[in-house]
Structure 1
Amino acid sequence: MKKHQPKPVLFILAFIILSSHSVLSLDFFFNGFNSTNLFLYGIAQIDSRILTLTNETSFAIGRALYSSKIPTKTPNSSHVLPFSTSFIFSMAPSRNKDTLPGHGLVFIFTPNTGINGTTASQNLGLFNLSNNGDPTNHVFGVEFDVFANQEFDDIDDNHVGIDINSLTSTTSHTAGYYSDFNEDGDQGFEKLKLNNGKNYQVWIDYEDSVINVTMAPVGVKRPKRPLLNVPLNLSDVLEDEMYVGFTSSTGRLVQSHRILSWSFSNSNFSLNERLITTGLPSFVIPKTPFHKRRSFIAGVTVGSFVILVLIALFSLFLIKRERRRAKERAEMEDWEFEYWPHRMTYQEIDAATKGFSDDNVIGFGGNGKVYKGVLPGGIEIAVKRISHENDGMKEFLAEISSLGRLKHRSLVGLKGWCKKEKGSFMLIYDYMENGSLDKRVYYDCDETNILTCEERIRILKDVASALLYLHEGWEAKVLHRDIKASNVLLDKDMNGRLGDFGLARMHGHSQVATTTRVVGTVGYLAPEVVRNGRASTQTDVFGFGVLILEVMCGRRPIEHGKPPLVDWVWQLMMQGELLTVVDARLKGNEGFNEEEVKKVLHLGLLCSYPNPDSRPTMRQVVIVFEGKNEGLESETEDMEAHLLAKVKSRDMWANYSQNFGYASHPTFDDIRQSNSSSMSLSWNNTIVDGR
């Protein structure tokens, strides 16, 4: 009998397998960092061997990646290699107690270096509005998020989530850990506050298409039960080689995001034990200790019991409501899914307005009536009912896409929206008890409602701060395009709030508006809008300038038988009689300050100057309202002299005539006559409306 000898090919195959495994394996650990370990982007930096992704700089991104790509798949295969990583992090809020903390950090696998295609704030420096959710991103991340964003369906403002090409997590859980079994065999969940400055250790393991995420305070033994245990096939997400690291960001909310140590391996899962967990610096901000009280525990116990009783009593009602909502969702259009979190039911709005009773009508908009309503709990609302015509649909979408995501104390708050069958739309706002500004400044208004000089100036300051926020204070630039007294509402404390975003448009801060259609209200339109239809922040400034003159003079921009308001004020200023334009009912009253009134009128004239390049920005306008005129008086120290110098150095009204075909401030007929064949306009009462 001949003995079978081992075939050489088997030895060769075994050698190839062992060699490929050796090539694909990668292990590293850092108990402290230096500049050779990582690629740093944005404001990320290494200080005292600690990786600081962000500090207290607002609207900033910090990203750090391991200095070379790591293999994540078996060559020529869809098989994803297992990996294990652990790191220690700290999120510390600002020492300024008036500054709110945010936004969080993400452990990521990414195919690219750099931070192109990312934005700060709630986007965590990971994606932006345009690429969020794009399957070609090939990005996997584990987020530690401290901001509850309805746009991304966040479960709360302190959670851990799995992100696949999107900031909308596939799975998430409130941050914390499961303690080991006690003597009674119970396993409790300990909630952890992510951004209290404490050091936490995280373990992330991926093997056999299952991802495990575990976390605990530094020094606590790794819990046996992970926080997240999720079946997850990453073969379509990860490329053959990927960069691995961390990213974070700040917005108006700021805090420091730090990584103290880090280990990674796709071959030796015990490497995590080599991280040093003792003697680490603390970033906890000292504060007054909070002691648990029996009354608090008793309150939670009683509250939980009450909730259980309510759930039992209303279970049938909830089932019916869910069935009704499921039917509504089945009939929804694409745009409805995007803005779903703000939707309210028609039944709620119908009950709040008493069946849209005529007794509840409080005003009329361009596309329908406005009703007062009261929600359960006594919350007062204003409901604008919009026509289902094309223009009404555009106004509806413009409002929920812009105002729905903007938050500022001087903007009218949009609480939600509602769509009834057969195309009837409703917008729900915070109720403004004192109505619109135009009802309290004109000569034909009720004398008992007339605003004082101080109140008018304060309201103008409120509108200025709102416009500054729209132009500069959000992730996108927002152009209101219809600033006028009827669109400024007054709350119960007589604070001014800018509303009606039916003509608003938003675009990137570095972009230019692309529309060339004339929109707005006659009397408030800047000359360049009439000429080319292109809106900009300076056209909003022009409208605000007209608003200033309108409020201080107590008359509309265009009135029958009278010269246009801007022309009239300019002429009287040039004749040295500027204060004669002021609402006569204000003069001699307590709080009337001639110098301050003149300053406000000068500012209105400067904002409504025909050349857009000579108008101030809203930031400069706010500075003037705060009593600082620097930056506006480059030619003379006095604002009136500055304005007169502009008029004398260049014949303003002749310039109007040369460029726009009329010799004074544009009227409704002037604008209609200046229309060219390349400009599309539709006329609806006093609105030049084409979106």
Structure 2
Amino acid sequence: MNKHPKPLLFLLLFIILFSQSVLSVDFVFNGFNSTNLSLYGIASINSRILTLTNETSYVVGRALYRSKIPTKTPNSSQVLPFSTSFIFSMAPSRNKAILPGHGLVFIFTPNTGINGTSSSQHLGLFNLTNNGNPNNHVFGVEFDVFANQEFNDIDDNHAGIDRNSLTSIISHTAGYWPDNIKSSSKSNDSDDEEKGFEELKLNNGKNYQVWIDYADSIINVTMAPVGIKRPKRPLLNVSLNLSDVFEDEMYVGFTSSTGRLVESHRILAWSFSNSNFQLSESLITTGLPSFAIPKTPFYKHKSFIAGVTVGSFFVLVFIALFALFLVKRERRRARERAEMEDWEFEYWPHKMTYQEIDAATKGFLEEYVIGFGANGKVYKGVSPGGTEIAVKRISHENDGMREFLAEISSLGRLKHRSLVGLKGWCKKEKGTFMLIYDYMENGSLDKRVYYDCDESKMLSCEDRIRILKDVASAVLYLHEGWESKVLHRDIKASNVLLDKDMNGRLGDFGLARMHGHGQVASTTRVVGTVGYLAPEVVRSGRASTQTDVFGFGVLMLEVMCGRRPIEEGKPPLVDWVWQLMVQGELLAAVDARLRASGGFDEEEVEKVMHLGLLCSYPNPNSRPTMRQVVKVLEGKNEPCDSETEDMEAYLLQKVKSRDMWANYSQNFGYSSHPTFDDIRQSHSSSMSLSWTISMVDGR
């Protein structure tokens, strides 16, 4: 047993106290002089204020405590705690045209000088090559006023903690929580977290105080306007082990920089201790100089006065030029109107310029051609607003002018969801006309029902019937839904277009005619497409709503059978379907591809086929009206006149009656469907009648 323990105990206690006194560093600077600090770059001391940078561009300023301070316990990796506080000011230039930047950093660094640092966004801390290098052994708390995407800055007014890199491990918008605001730190709602937060603008020239404490691997950063008691809730709080960053001894101080953005960075007071966390209370926070730029009433600013003067001048010039533009435009329009024909004046609101159309179609490139009409090509284009359009270019030759006027006089004023929309027209010199339509993404119906169409694009039975309903509603609108009665006169599959949702839309009104309700069309000009022409049109040349019904009936059979009305070496489509109906084999006429796929509603298909036969019946008095057709297609079983049976049953019973098909077979047959030669022969003796027939395989 040791009988003399007390001398050893006293010796051990003396060694501990001596080592602590050697490691302890405490200082308070309420003003600076050249003996306190080591200055590098542009840093200077003026009137006891440390100025890191001024309004010089692309410079670095750094100030460090004159000697290294111990940061670790000897012979161990344990980091010593520390507490520091300082008062800073970032003052923008008085020249309002110069933007302020970039910021300052409180740092621990193993080296003196500014070698290996860059200005601008690097804050005089690192450069492009060494940023993020773990061998830097640099720790900093930045106060940054520029949002650099390369460093993932959260905004242009934030504080952040940096370890060997300018990409902060944690950051927050600069500011503080006043002590009278209850903390919501237990809430998971970020809005509650920020409730009551007071944001501080770092570079407005005002003085702010910062407190930074590190103990037990926890670092707290707090800031507030100078003179306000230290807030209880820190701005930044994070668990951070600095043992791999700190060396045994480090320099401590500040660094900042400017770039194209400039401002003055100043430190007015500074305290540091690794033994006394209350030393910050020794900083003097009153009577400090202010660097905030006084606010001048905006109307007294020279820039405002100059701006108002220059702005007024430009406004007057603009008004004069605009007035001149309006006068010239009205004169030009008046001149154009004086030169316009009557029809141009009537449809002026729909007119578009040739330059717009030329730009939309890239100068009418051949690769933009999407179709061919009787008098010209159809091009796809993109309007100045980005909308896709279709442009039909019509030649003045032949019947181009007649077709053009028919389109803009009818379709230009009609509005229905199942009609192709006419957006405008254009007349160019040398007899070229253009019509601009809504673009139909899925082309024409005929390309999706015939046997030569791509199998993948073939329409299902349900889709075909749905599209027929769309067309039927459009024809009914033409006959009864507008102020005048409109006869389309060319209803066929190639004139039915499909929009992006595969809805059917009736188009091509080049042969359309309008007349009042209750009036009879006066024209005796035979127009249409062989295979769709009603027999009475061939005999008299007169069109009526019933001739449109005939064309629609052929269309119904054409779509359901997948066959053109007239094909070489085959009986006419309508005759063929009548024969199969009489033989009780009506479904044999349905498109073989649909029958092979199966799964369609046979009763619904038979109804459509029967209705198509009735619509295309040679005797116009036996055909239903379009209103009756729509009701049957839509399944609206309404009473038919005085009959007790519904419309659908009445019409379908009518087409199946023996009298109907017997009369058809005996008196009409194949001869009821005229060919091109039939029409030409029937009118050869009457030269006063003009006629236009489309002969493209019944299309």
TM-score (norm 1): 0.51
Question: Which residue of structure 1 aligns with residue 539 of structure 2?
Answer: 531
Please tell me the residue identity of whatever aligns with 1:655.
N
Question: Which residue of structure 1 aligns with residue 664 of structure 2?
Answer: 652
Give, in angstroms, the shift of residue 587 of structure 1: 2.2
Q: Deviations over 1:612-657 (max 9, x none)?
A: 1111101001100111355679698475543231545752133237
Q: Relative to structure 1, is the Cα distance of residues 357 and 322 closer, same or farther in structure 2, using a 3 angstrom cutoff?
A: farther
Query: In the alignment, does 2:573 pair up with 1:561?
Result: no
Q: Relative to structure 1, is the Cα distance of residues 675 and 526 closer, same or farther in structure 2, using a 3 angstrom cutoff?
A: same
Query: In the alignment, does 2:632 pair up with 1:624?
Result: yes
Question: Which residue of structure 1 aligns with residue 436 of structure 2?
Answer: 428
Aligned counterpart in structure 2 of residue 680 of structure 1, from 686, 689, 695:
689
Question: Which residue of structure 1 aligns with residue 475 of structure 2?
Answer: 467
Aligned counterpart in structure 1 of residue 594 of structure 2, from 586, 591, 594:
586
Give, in angstroms, the shift of residue 482 of structure 1: 0.4
Task: Map 1:214-225; keep pairs closer than 5 Å.
Answer: none
Q: Which structure 2 residue ranges, 5 or more long, are not aligned?
A: 1-314
Give, in angstroms, the shift of residue 327 of structure 1: 4.7
Question: Which residue of structure 1 aligns with residue 240 of structure 2?
Answer: none
Give, in angstroms, the shift of residue 423 of structure 1: 1.8
SS at match of 1:404: coil
Give, in angstroms, the shift of residue 518 of structure 1: 1.1
SS at match of 2:567: coil
Give, in angstroms, the shift of residue 377 of structure 1: 1.9
SS at match of 1:535: coil
Give distance in 2, aligned partners of 1:398 and 1:625.
30
Q: Deviations over 1:365-414 (max 9, x none)?
A: 01000001101121111000001125100000011111111100000000
Give distance in 2, aligned partners of 1:309 and 1:355.
39
Query: In the alignment, does 2:651 pair up with 1:642?
Result: no
Q: Deviations over 1:346-382 (max 9, x none)?
A: 1111111111111111100010000011011211110
Query: In the alignment, does 2:395 pair up with 1:387?
Result: yes
Q: Indicate the structure (1 or 2) with the bigger Cα radius of gyration.
A: 2
Q: Is the 8 A contact 1:524 1:542 kept in 2?
A: yes
Q: Relative to structure 1, is the Cα distance of residues 599 and 685 closer, same or farther in structure 2, using a 3 angstrom cutoff?
A: closer
SS at match of 1:586: helix
Give distance in 2, aligned partners of 1:627 and 1:587.
23
Give distance in 1, aligned partners of 2:408 and 2:546.
24
SS at match of 2:584: coil
Q: Relative to structure 1, is the Cα distance of residues 572 and 630 closer, same or farther in structure 2, using a 3 angstrom cutoff?
A: farther
Q: Deviations over 1:107-154 (max 9, x none)?
A: xxxxxxxxxxxxxxxxxxxxxxxxxxxxxxxxxxxxxxxxxxxxxxxx
Question: Which residue of structure 1 aligns with residue 104 of structure 2?
Answer: none
Q: Which structure 1 residue ranges, 5 or more long, are not aligned?
A: 1-307
Aligned counterpart in structure 1 of residue 520 of structure 2, from 512, 515, 533:
512
SS at match of 1:587: helix
Question: Which residue of structure 1 aligns with residue 300 of structure 2?
Answer: none
SS at match of 2:657: helix
Q: Is the 8 A contact 1:654 1:663 kept in 2?
A: no
Question: Which residue of structure 2 aligns with residue 610 of structure 1?
Answer: 618
Q: Is the 8 A contact 2:371 2:377 kept in 1?
A: yes
Aligned counterpart in structure 1 of residue 336 of structure 2, from 328, 331, 335:
328
Question: Which residue of structure 2 aligns with residue 547 of structure 1?
Answer: 555
Q: Deviations over 1:502-536 (max 9, x none)?
A: 11011110111111121110000111111111110
Question: Which residue of structure 2 aligns with residue 477 of structure 1?
Answer: 485
Task: Map 1:107-146; keep pairs closer than 5 Å.
Answer: none
Give distance in 2, aligned partners of 1:568 and 1:650.
15
Aligned counterpart in structure 2 of residue 497 of structure 1, from 492, 505, 511:
505
Q: Is the 8 A contact 1:480 1:505 kept in 2?
A: yes
* Percent of aligned positions that are identical: 78
Aligned counterpart in structure 1 of residue 362 of structure 2, from 340, 349, 354:
354
Q: Deviations over 1:419-441 (max 9, x none)?
A: 01122100011111111101110
Question: Which residue of structure 2 aligns with residue 447 of structure 1?
Answer: 455
Give distance in 2, aligned partners of 1:526 and 1:646.
22
Q: Is the 8 A contact 1:402 1:501 kept in 2?
A: yes
Q: Deviations over 1:31-89 (max 9, x none)?
A: xxxxxxxxxxxxxxxxxxxxxxxxxxxxxxxxxxxxxxxxxxxxxxxxxxxxxxxxxxx
SS at match of 1:506: strand
Equivalenced residue count is: 378
SS at match of 2:412: helix
Q: Deviations over 1:223-270 (max 9, x none)?
A: xxxxxxxxxxxxxxxxxxxxxxxxxxxxxxxxxxxxxxxxxxxxxxxx
Give distance in 1, aligned partners of 2:319 and 2:457.
51
Give, in angstroms, the shift of residue 335 of structure 1: 1.3
Q: Relative to structure 1, is the Cα distance of residues 584 and 530 closer, same or farther in structure 2, using a 3 angstrom cutoff?
A: same
Please tell me the residue identity of whatever aligns with 2:689.
S
Q: Deviations over 1:154-180 (max 9, x none)?
A: xxxxxxxxxxxxxxxxxxxxxxxxxxx
Q: Deviations over 1:412-463 (max 9, x none)?
A: 0000100011221000111111111011100011111111111110000000
Q: Relative to structure 1, is the Cα distance of residues 687 and 473 closer, same or farther in structure 2, using a 3 angstrom cutoff?
A: farther
Q: Is the 8 A contact 1:546 1:566 kept in 2?
A: yes
SS at match of 1:467: helix
SS at match of 1:604: helix
Q: Is the 8 A contact 1:518 1:688 kept in 2?
A: no
Q: Relative to structure 1, is the Cα distance of residues 580 and 338 closer, same or farther in structure 2, using a 3 angstrom cutoff?
A: same
Q: Relative to structure 1, is the Cα distance of residues 347 and 320 closer, same or farther in structure 2, using a 3 angstrom cutoff?
A: farther
SS at match of 1:585: helix
Give distance in 1, aligned partners of 2:619 and 2:428.
46
Please tell me the residue identity of whatever aligns with 1:524.
Y
Give distance in 2, aligned partners of 1:485 and 1:342.
28
Give distance in 2, aligned partners of 1:688 and 1:558.
7
Aligned counterpart in structure 2 of residue 488 of structure 1, from 482, 488, 496:
496
CA RMSD of superposed structures (Å): 2.9
Q: Is the 8 A contact 2:537 2:543 kept in 1?
A: yes
Q: Relative to structure 1, is the Cα distance of residues 483 and 631 closer, same or farther in structure 2, using a 3 angstrom cutoff?
A: farther
Give distance in 2, aligned partners of 1:475 and 1:467.
14
Aligned counterpart in structure 2 of residue 668 of structure 1, from 665, 676, 691:
676
Query: In the alignment, does 2:378 pair up with 1:370?
Result: yes
Task: Map 1:273-422; keep pairs closer than 5 Å.
Answer: 315=322, 325-422=333-430
Give distance in 1, aligned partners of 2:639 and 2:500.
35
Give distance in 2, aligned partners of 1:330 and 1:607.
48
Q: Deviations over 1:280-321 (max 9, x none)?
A: xxxxxxxxxxxxxxxxxxxxxxxxxxxx99987994877776
Give distance in 1, aligned partners of 2:454 and 2:483.
42
Please tell me the residue identity of whatever aligns with 2:591.
D
Give distance in 2, aligned partners of 1:684 and 1:543.
14
Q: Is the 8 A contact 2:534 2:673 kept in 1?
A: no
Q: Relative to structure 1, is the Cα distance of residues 638 and 537 closer, same or farther in structure 2, using a 3 angstrom cutoff?
A: closer
Q: Is the 8 A contact 1:653 1:664 kept in 2?
A: no
Of stretches 639-648 and 609-618 in structure 1, the one that deviates more from structure 2 is 639-648
Give, in angstroms, the shift of residue 675 of structure 1: 2.6
Give, in angstroms, the shift of residue 328 of structure 1: 3.4
Q: Is the 8 A contact 2:530 2:694 kept in 1?
A: no
